[in-house]
Amino acid sequence: MQKIALITGITGQDGSYLSELLLKKNYKVHGFVRPNYNKNNLKSNWRIKKFKRKIFLYKVHILDEEKIKRLILKIRPDEIYHLAAQSYVDYFKKVKKNNTFDINFRFTKTILQVIKKNNIHTRFFFAGSSEMYSNKIKSKINENCRFSPSSNYGLAKLKSYKLLKTLRKKYGIHASMGILFNHESPRKDTSFVLRKISSSVAQIKYGFKKKIKLGDIKSKRDWGHAKDFVKAMWLICQQKKPDDFIIGTGKIHSVEQFAKLAFNHVKLDYKKYIEIDKTLIRKGDSRPRVANITKIKKKLKWKPNITFNNLVKDMVDSDLKRYIKR
């Protein structure tokens, strides 16, 4: 029997890769999109345009509890992947901080309450974040480390997880969390630094741009590829018993390393094209959070397959193709 999946955030980086994975596994894929979604607008569709006709999309405001309930009861998904969230990163500065917390938590709460109150037999995956942890932890972060978020984004994720854990324990809901560390791809928004670099490398190579402004290029992260991460999400939902897992690579690299590899890929010297802009340096961006993926490797036999070097190559090659068409 064909399985049915519902994905929130389906037009985003993770949602689009997850959709492709599930379609290959013969799932019927449904997704929630924003109310201002325009099926004819490339900006809304560029990540899903190749398979858009194979999936079912519904315009939903993330605070419209009645519509969310009605659609979940109509779709009756076997698996729900809750990936949508309002990010805390700099390009959301226009949004009030409290809104980030309220919106993210209320959306998760609504979905979980629909599952509980209507006794829907579905498996729920919640996309947690490394932002739920302090950036002062010296060792690699595992599932037993204490949560200590410093952003409203991280706080909302933590409160959502506490609700998930309560409902799982009290009502037996099959609800799991994947704690996602940084993951990138050609489908990442250019507001994020690695995609900003790969996009700029292509533009500089073709003469559309002369320089790229960056902040702290010594800043380090545990960066993986989104394609690997969505495989982990699916594996988590296939377990008989719900559980929580760290998803990362366990390795760290700097922004400078990415930039050097990206420019080298097009035979350019990165030092000639980077300008340091101190206004782009994020405050409190000190020790990097690094994932300990022992549990997910042991229990789910999952590990990242795409290396950092291949992540760089994939992103730069994709942007080279994108800009050569212009």
Cα(37)–Cα(92) distance, rounded to whole angstroms? 18
Exactly one of 16, 129, 151, 176 is catalytic; name it: 129
Instruction: Answer whether 212's CB lies under 8 Å from 274's CB.
Output: yes
Q: What are phi and psi of 305, to 5 degrees?
A: -100, -25
CB 245 within 8 A of CB 300: yes
> Is 65 assigned a catalytic role?
no
Please say if 37 is a catalytic residue.
no
From 153, 161, 270, 273, the catalytic residue: 153
Task: Give the residues across from 29 on adjacent strands.
Answer: 5
Q: At what angle do helices 226-237 and 13-24 cross, to 10 degrees?
A: 60
Checking 42-46 for CB contacts under 8 A at 24+ apart, the result is: 44/11, 45/11
Q: Which structure tokens are listed for 23?
A: 């379609």
Options 17, 20, 88, 131, the catalytic residue: 131
Residues 6+ apart with CB under 8 A from 66: none
Residue 228 dihedral angles phi and psi, to the nearest 5°: -65, -40
Q: Which residues carry out catalysis?
A: 129, 131, 153
